Structures are given as structure tokens and as C-alpha cells.
Amino acid sequence: MKRSKAIQTSIVASVAATLLSCEGTPPPTRYCVDQQQRVLDDRECQQTTSGGHVWYYGRSGYVPTGTRISGGSFQTPSEGFTSNSVSAEGGTVRGGIGASGEAAAGHASGGAGE
Amino acid sequence: MNRIHLTPRENWQQKVEKSGLVYHTPNGRPYWDESVCYHFSSREINELEAATEEVQKLCLAAAQFVIDQNRFDQFSIPEAARPAIRAAWEAEPPSIYGRFDFAYDGEHPPKLLEYNANTPTGLLEASVIQWEWRQEVFPATDQFNSIHDKLVAKWTDLRRYWRGNRTVYFTSMRDDEDLLTVSYLRDTAQLAGLATEHLFVREIGWNEKTGTFRDLQDRPIQSIFALYPWEWLLRDMAKPVLSSCGQMDWIEPIWKMLWSNKALLAILWEMFPNHPNLLASYLDGPHGLSEFVRKPLLSREGANITVHKGGSEASTAGPYGEEGFVFQDLAPERSWEGMTPVFGSWYITDMGAAGVGIREAAGVTDNLSRFVPHYFD
């Protein structure tokens, strides 16, 4: 059962180093919000006719539509951002997978491992 | 089997971090613990290895039984998912790994506690961190651990199966342990010559027009390893996910819902009563067991477990249990200084029993239990 050589890994060591440094801080998330700062589908801000619907940048991770959020900024961050739910031109929608895990993470260790 | 006290290596934190284990002391509580280790004889290791191979065979028979007998109701598996499970079971799409949790006292045969067959973690510490510890601390001894080599061999098989260049995606939640687990799996896939990319589950795109899941560059995903359990995938996006089964590879495949569900334990006992590696387990109550554990069919990390022992009961908190429970006999166990080990025995698909990682806890083994290395000679 012995191995004849040392285990070689590169990705996991690199990711670990990133997590240990400040670079591990996730970028802010971009949300489309209405005037009451309630989260809308991203498409509401991608249409030029959607008056009063603007982009808002916070650090909360994914937030379902209808939730009121605060603690962020309307200024576009210089270091980039991730999207809460993207409806791209080609019709690809992101953010659909993850809600169940995030709901469970509120009760347990935070991950999906068993 | 002995539990030995040791002086941890100097700068052990930096050593394990360098290999990826940054979660060695979460919230100030030790998780990786090299102040103790387990020492086995070859006989004991052979017994754990043989039990793993044996129970894997039993589980294959059990899954076939559930499908043939249409026992999905007992697993609380939604009707809509059953055709995809049946189809995947027949087609045998790629599968990588699973971790059996055994109770073992060195005297009785190892007893199966559960099969973590969908999203097992604790992989990096079992495969890499404890191996490097043994090389430094007990270089003349051996360890039940060929996890790394078997993972690379399995990915090598899959590269041939896919016949050509394809990117294998790895997805996880934004959790350090999960991210590092899939990062390590990416390493093993890349060592097999596969191209890999990571994206978080929230970043996975769905394109209704083409009926495909897409990466961040809007390219269709052909194969994805998801450290995200099937019951959550189905709750989040049942229709797209089910329609994609058979069109793309979800690793682990959807039929793993039959193994990662603790109803499996009752099916195994029904099919193989009094098997030396099994514990009496029932779905409709304790059946006269005086001391038993009640576990939710789908709980994770030791959540919502109730232990009935010595006339009293103790429970852990959590969000699970709506789907039903299994009632399982208490296993013979041996404790040292109040700590009871659970033996996580890794099985790499088609490659066999690959090694053990030991976690020990003062009560129910959960996400606060400690990982303790081992060696044998």
C-alpha cells in the first residue's frame, strides 16, 4: 500500500495559499434593486426602460429576489464584482443552483460535505 | 489497535497548510490533531479493507433491489427523479468515490454506520495530509492509503472513456473545505491528463433555448463533478437537472441518491440480516432495540441525530428529518479518554478499497470532530 513517490498537487496548494492571504476575500456581488433596495431579477436592470431600477454592490453573496438589502454601495467597485443572477444575452441564467445549500448552511457547517 | 500520544511536529500548522489543509483549527477548535494517532496491526487493516470491499458488494445488490422492487418511496425520492435514476443505473455514467463510515473496536467485525456516497469530504486529510505526516513521523511504517493513486487511476480510465479532449468542471459552494476538496480532486484529474475548471454552484448557467448547462464563458458543460448533493440539485432546479441527465455527466451520478440516503441501511439489513458488517436498521421504528440511534434519511455532518442509550437520549440540532428517519442499533465501540473513533473507509469506483481516515468525537461524529492520522506495521 505504500506509494513510491511523493504526492504532487498544485491546484489545492495554490487555492489554500489564496485563502490564507487577503486575496481570498470574495469580490462584492452586484444586485439589481428598486428604490426601496429590494432585490430584483438582473433583467430588470439590463433593460433601459426600467426606471428606478439600479445596480447595487454588496458583500452578502446570493440574495433571493424580494429581499431588502443594505450595507453596500451604488458605486461600481474598481476591483470587479460577481453577479447575483445573470441573464446573459444568449439566454443563459445563472444563480439557479445553490439556494438549498445556502439554506442548509445556515444550520450546519456551511458546506455540502458529508 | 492502539491510540498513541505524540508530540506534534514543529510548525505542523504551516506544513499542513502548505499541502492545502487551511481548516486545521476552525474557530479555534482543533480539527487536524496529530497529538494522537492510531496504530494498527496488518490483520486489523486487512479486516477494514475486506469489510469495505464486502459492503460495497452488498450496496450494489441493495441498489438493484430498490430499483427492481420499486422501493423509492422508502427513500422519499420524488417520482420525477425515478426514471433518471433507473436510466443512470443501467447506463453506468462516471462515478468517482464514496466513503463508508465504520464503527470498529479491533475485536468485532467493522460495522457499517452509513455510506457517504454523494458528497464525501475529509478527502484531502485522508489522502494527502496524513500520508505526509506518516512519511515524516513514522517513515519505516505503512498506512492504509492509496487514495491518491486510485483517484488518478480512475480519472485516467475516464479520460479513455471520454475519448478525447474535454474539460471536466468542478463545482462547490463558497465554503473553504468544499473548495479545497474539489481543488484536490482537480489535481488528481489533471494528473490523469484531463483539463479542469472550477466554478461555484451559483455560477452554473442554464440555457433554456439549448437545454444545456453552461460555464462562465457560456460554453456547454459536458462533465461536472458537483460537491452538491442530489436532493439539493433537485430542490433548486429539478426540471433542467433531470432533463440534462443522460445528456451530460453529473459526477456523482443521480443513482447515488440510493446510497447516500440512510434508508439504504434498512434495505441492507432486510436483504442481509445478521451480516457481520451490518447493524440492525429499520425505517418504521426501533423494532425492540433497547439502545439505538435515530438518523434522518438525509442528514449531513451528524445533524439531527438522536442517541438512545442507557435509558436516556441525546440529540444534535439541525434542519433535517422531514424526509423520515432510520433506526439503527448501537455499534460495539471502544473509546479512549472519552473519544470514540469512526473509520471513514474510501472506495474509489472500479479501483476498490483505498484507505481510511479516522475522525474521533466525544459524542456524535459531526463537523467538530477531530481528524487523527494512523499507521500500521
Spell out the residues 6+ positions from residue B7 whose beta carbon is closer than 8 angstroms to its own. B35
B135 pLDDT exceeds 70?
yes
Q: How far apart are CA A111 and CA B180, in angstroms?
A: 11
Instruction: Report whether pLDDT(B217) > 60.
Output: yes
**Concatenated DSSP letters of B262-286:** THHHHHHHHHSTT-TT---EESSS-
Q: What is the pLDDT of residue B112?
A: 98
| Residue B59 near residue B256 (C-beta atoms within 8 A) | no
| Range of weakest confidence among B136-140, B167-171, B204-208 | B204-208
Task: State the number of CA atoms in the 13 A half-sphere of B100 facing the CB.
Answer: 30
Question: Does the structure show a pLDDT above 60 at A3?
Answer: no
Position A60 scores a pLDDT of 62
Averaged pLDDT, B31-55: 97
Pick among B49, B52, B173 to test the A interface (most A CBs inside 10 A): B173
Res B93 pLDDT > 80: yes
Is the pLDDT assigned to residue A107 strictly greater than 60? no
Looking at residues B23-33, what average pLDDT do you find?
A: 92
Instruction: Place B360 in a pLDDT band, splitting at 50, 70 and 90.
Output: very high
Nearest CA in chain A to B131: A7
pLDDT band at residue B316 under the 50/70/90 scheme: confident
Enter the pTM of the model: 0.90
pLDDT > 60? residue A86: no
The H or E element spanning position A30 is strand A29-33
> Could you tell me if B329 and B281 are in contact, meaning their C-beta atoms sit under 8 angstroms apart?
yes
Is the pLDDT reported for residue B84 higher than 60?
yes
pLDDT tier for residue B332 given thresholds of 50, 70 and 90? confident
pLDDT of residue B320: 80
Q: Which residues of B touch A108 (CB under 8 A)?
A: 300-301, 303, 318-319, 367
Grade residue B221 by pLDDT with cuts at 50, 70 and 90: very high
Number of other CB atoms surrounding residue B44 within 10 Å: 18
Q: Which residues of B touch A113 (CB under 8 A)?
A: 119-122, 177-178, 181, 227, 300-301
Out of A101, A108, A113, name the one closest to residue B121 (CB).
A113
- What's the whole-number mean pLDDT along residues B318-337? 89
Q: What is the pLDDT of residue B119?
A: 97
Question: Smallest CA–CA separation between A19 and chain B, in Å?
Answer: 8
Q: Name the closest residue on chain B to residue A92, using Cα atoms.
A: B207
Residues 6+ apart with CB under 8 A from A74: A54, A55, A56, A57
Where are the extended beta strands (E) located within chain B? 2-5, 36-40, 97-103, 111-116, 167-172, 195-200, 205-207, 212-214, 223-226, 249-251, 281-282, 292-296, 306-309, 312-315, 325-329, 340-348, 352-361, 370-372, 374-376
Using the beta-carbon criterion (under 8 Å), do A15 and B180 form an inter-chain contact? yes
Nearest to B233 by CA among B254, B258, B247, B255: B254
Interface touch A3/B131, C-beta < 8 Å: yes
Residues of A in contact with B318 (CB under 8 A): 107-108
Contact B175 A109 (CB under 8 A): yes
Percentage of chain B surpassing pLDDT 70?
99
Nearest-Cα residue of chain B relative to residue A24: B176
- Tell me if A99 and B236 make a contact (CB, 8 A cut-off): yes
pLDDT of the residue at A81: 78
Q: Which residue of A has its CA nearest to B125?
A: A12
Indicate the pLDDT class of residue B129, thresholds 50, 70 and 90.
Answer: very high
Of the residues A9, A39, A107, the best mutation for testing chain B's interface (the one with the most B CB atoms within 10 Å of its CB) is: A9
B38 pLDDT tier (thresholds 50, 70, 90) = very high
* B18/A16 Cβ within 8 A: yes
Distance, CA of B238 to CA of B232 (rounded, Å): 9
**Neighbour count for residue A74 (Cβ, 10 Å):** 10
Distances (CA, A) of B40 to A20, B47, B48, B368: 35, 11, 11, 24
- Chain A CB contacts of B194 under 8 Å are none
User: What is the average per-residue pLDDT within B269-290?
Assistant: 97
The rounded distance, in Å, linking the Cα atoms of B323 and B79 is 14
pLDDT at site A4 = 52
The answer to whether A112 contacts B300, with C-beta atoms less than 8 Å apart, is yes
Residue B260 at interface with chain A, using a CB cutoff of 8 Å: yes
In angstroms, the CA B256 to CA A60 distance is: 32
Task: Dump pLDDT digits (tens) for A12-59.
Answer: 999 999 888 865 566 778 888 998 999 887 778 876 655 788 999 987
Express each pLDDT in B229-248 by its tens digit.
999 999 999 999 999 999 99
B54 CB within 8 Å of a chain A CB: no
- Is A73 within 8 Å of A84 (Cβ atoms)? no
Distance of residue B17 Cα from the nearest chain A Cα, in angstroms: 7
pLDDT reading at A6 higher than 80: no
Task: Please compute the mean of the pLDDT values over residues B319-331 and round it to a whole number.
Answer: 90
Q: Return the number of other C-beta atoms located less than 10 Å from residue B228's C-beta.
A: 27
**Which of B 149-188 lie inside 8 A of A, CB atoms?**
149, 172-181, 183-184, 186-187
Secondary structure of residue A43 in the 3-state scheme: helix
CA angle B276, B280, B285 (to 5 degrees): 175
pLDDT value of position A25: 64
pLDDT number for residue B323? 87
> Does B190 contact A at CB distance below 8 Å?
yes
CA distance linking residue B114 with residue B147, whole number of Å: 19
Residue B216's pLDDT is what? 83
Report, as an integer, the average pLDDT of B341-370.
91
CB spacing of A114 vs B149 below 8 angstroms: no
Alpha-carbon gap, residue B119 to B228, rounded angstroms: 6
**Local structure of B145: helix, strand or coil:** strand
pLDDT of the residue at A77? 80
Look at chain A and count its residues: 114
The DSSP-derived string for B187-244 is HHHHHTT-EEEEEEGGG-EEETTTTEEE-TTSPBPSEEEE-S-HHHHHHHHHHHHHHH
Using DSSP's 3-state secondary structure scheme, residue B60 falls into helix
R_g over Cα of chain B = 20
The residue ranking higher by pLDDT, B365 or B333, is B333
- Structure confidence at residue B51 (pLDDT): 98
Q: Which percentage of chain B shows pLDDT scores above 90?
A: 86
Mean predicted confidence (pLDDT) in B344-350: 98
pLDDT score of A102: 86
Residue of B170, B181, B178, B171 whose CA lies nearest to B124: B181
Cell triple for B328: 439503527
Across the A:B interface, residue pairs with CB atoms under 8 Å apart total: 184
* pLDDT over 60 (residue B345): yes
| Backbone dihedral angles phi then psi of residue B311, each to the nearest 5 degrees | 80, 0
